[in-house]
A and B are shown apart, each in its own frame.
Chain A
Amino acid sequence: GAVVSQHPSRVICKSGTSVKIECRSLDFQATTMFWYRQFPKKSLMLMATSNEGSKATYEQGVEKDKFLINHASLTLSTLTVTSAHPEDSSFYICSARRAGRTSLWEQYFGPGTRLTVT
């Protein structure tokens, strides 16, 4: 159990367009989901925390109007990169914390989405 999926796995979009990335917990409910981005040969950087039914909390320096996060259900969170530019090209990874669990390690990661903006 505890599988997290992301869709799409890869996406290429043109500069100025918006792209939506989905993160789903397949076999458990997740009240909290996290979004990370990772540049080549760099570590993961936490972008935001989303709680089901409420607004996301963004880390310092992350533009909330550019990276729109919606956590409308207990199994789905979406990240929309608006007006994407080449510098937004990155590997985006989500994770989901099992509902009712507070242990930090009970957080499961998706396989990531590779975004390329041309």
Chain B
Amino acid sequence: DAKTTQPPSMDCAEGRAANLPCNHSTISGNEYVYWYRQIHSQGPQYIIHGLKNNETNEMASLIITEDRKSSTLILPHATLRDTAVYYCIVRGREYGNKLVFGAGTILRVKS
């Protein structure tokens, strides 16, 4: 399984874009990049996933570099409710695969 590296913590001003990086230099061709977040004392919440194209949904955008060795999750207008731990996970989509969480990035959105 490809290993991911994320900064332990980041701060972001309310209303500004939050850009959360993730390095996954050993990613293989059939592995997707998944992002989840966990607000304090809650279960994780799915945000977005992608293979090689950039993706956008109502929550966030995912930018994957052309060589797929890194990606960035973008929250376009961060709010205080976006304060959470953000997890970048790289896994193949085969049925037997399981979500395995690393340390993640603590994002603190400040007013």
Contact = CB atoms under 8 A, between A and B. Distances in A.
Interface of A: 4, 6, 34, 36, 43-46, 49, 91, 93, 95, 102-105, 107-112, 114
B43 A109 contact: yes
B111 interface: no
Interface of B: 32, 34, 38, 41-46, 49, 85, 87, 91, 93-95, 97-104
A112 B41 contact: yes
B99 A104 contact: yes
B101 A114 contact: no
A114 B49 contact: no
26 contacts: A6-B43, A34-B98, A34-B99, A43-B102, A44-B38, A44-B101, A45-B101, A46-B99, A46-B100, A46-B101, A93-B43, A95-B43, A95-B44, A103-B93, A104-B34, A104-B93, A104-B97, A105-B46, A105-B49, A107-B46, A108-B46, A109-B43, A109-B45, A111-B42, A112-B42, A114-B41
B102 to A, nearest CB: 6
A4 B44 CA distance: 11
Contact of A105 (B34, B41, B94): B34
Contacts of B102: 43
A111 B43 CA distance: 4
A43 B104 contact: yes
Contacts of B38: 44
- Which of the listed residues A93, A105, A109, A112 has the most CB atoms from chain B within 10 Å of its own CB? A105
Contacts of A108: 46
A43 B88 CA distance: 12
Nearest to B38: A44
Contacts of A104: 32, 34, 49, 91, 93, 97, 99
- Which of the listed residues B85, B91, B99 has the most CB atoms from chain A within 10 Å of its own CB? B99
B43 A112 contact: yes
Contacts of B34: 104-105
Contacts of A45: 101
Nearest to A42: B103
